[in-house]
């Protein structure tokens, strides 16, 4: 088991159709690169259920993830010592992240649709034949179909729900592009800031961000942020102030994000 600080973990709250609750282990990896800037193969992740709303037929999740690249050096050292870490414990929190792949994307329930549809067609064909000597076999197939019917109805309900929310998801995607995606903005800021810099504040509101922190090259940050396409019109909102006795300066800058 590894331990890490809570501020190394990326988290995001998302909503899904309530019908996906029993299939989250396959749905969450399939949707990972839509929820975050990462693919499911590039992170270790877990999720917790925040709420279930029968009125809107939605379920709320909190995704907690960490890029595999962050842990690769530590896991490599443990591997050389013949030690295998199976989970990541978060300091001061009551959840852990399993250190295993969360699976490749797969379209959920397609096999179930095909199986249920095949059984229905077989049953209909047997009834049309009208041979009384096959009544026992027809009864056995009817029982099998009855057992599969709840799963098939659930799958059909999920497909209908996903279809109904497509227009809403389009609107959400447009707003995300207009105002900026928080995880994309945070990832861009992480790429820009030097390794010996750190943030004390990160505020994102209505298409603008305010970032404050310390950096030994604070005066060069405006130029660095200007070269990143995610940010527009970066400016300091307060004078850059050198910390007495240290080779670092305090900074606070504002930039526009989104379109």
CB 118 within 8 A of CB 152: no
Go through the domains of the chain in sequence order and give each one's CATH number: 2-105 (no CATH), 110-164 (no CATH), 180-257 (3.30.1360.100)
> pTM score, two decimals?
0.37
Which helix or strand (DSSP H or E) is residue 110 part of? helix 110-129
| % residues pLDDT > 90 (the chain) | 18
* Dihedral of the alpha carbons of 203, 204, 209, 215, in degrees to the nearest 10: 40
Q: State the Rg of the chain over Cα.
A: 26
Q: Which of 20-34, 81-95, 187-201, 219-233 has the lowest mean pLDDT?
A: 81-95
- At residue 210, does pLDDT exceed 80? yes
pLDDT, residue 174, reads 64
Q: Which residue reads 């207009």 in tokens?
A: 178
Q: Which of 16-30, 83-97, 104-118, 147-161 has the lowest mean pLDDT?
A: 104-118
Distance CA 213, CA 190 (A): 12
pLDDT, residue 106, reads 42
- At residue 180, does pLDDT exceed 60? yes
pLDDT, residue 237, reads 92
Average pLDDT over residues 249-259: 88
């Amino acid at each position: 088991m590894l331990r890490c600080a809570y501020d190394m973990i990326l988290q995001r709250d998302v909503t899904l159709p309530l019908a996906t609750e029993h299939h989250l282990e396959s749905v969450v990896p399939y949707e990972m690169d839509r929820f975050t800037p990462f693919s499911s193969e590039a992170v270790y992740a877990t999720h917790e259920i925040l709420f279930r709303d029968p009125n809107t037929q939605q379920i709320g999740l909190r995704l907690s993830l960490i890029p595999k690249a962050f842990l690769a050096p530590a896991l490599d050292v443990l591997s050389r010592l013949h030690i295998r870490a199976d989970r990541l414990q978060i300091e001061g929190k009551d959840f852990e992240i399993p250190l295993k792949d969360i699976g490749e994307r797969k379209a959920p329930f397609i096999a179930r649709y095909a199986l249920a549809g095949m059984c229905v067609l077989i049953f209909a064909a047997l009834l049309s034949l009208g041979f009384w000597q096959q009544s026992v076999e027809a009864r056995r197939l009817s029982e099998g179909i009855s057992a599969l019917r709840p799963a098939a109805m659930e799958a059909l309900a999920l497909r209908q729900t996903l279809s109904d929310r497509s227009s809403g998801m389009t609107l959400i995607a447009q707003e995300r592009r207009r105002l900026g995606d928080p995880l994309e903005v945070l990832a861009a800021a992480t790429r820009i800031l030097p390794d010996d810099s750190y943030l004390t504040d990160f505020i994102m509101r209505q298409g603008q961000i305010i970032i404050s922190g310390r950096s030994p090259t604070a005066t060069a940050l405006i130029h660095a942020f200007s070269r990143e396409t995610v940010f527009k019109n970066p400016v300091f909102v307060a004078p850059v102030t050198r910390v007495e006795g240290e080779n670092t300066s305090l900074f606070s800058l504002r930039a526009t994000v989104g379109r």
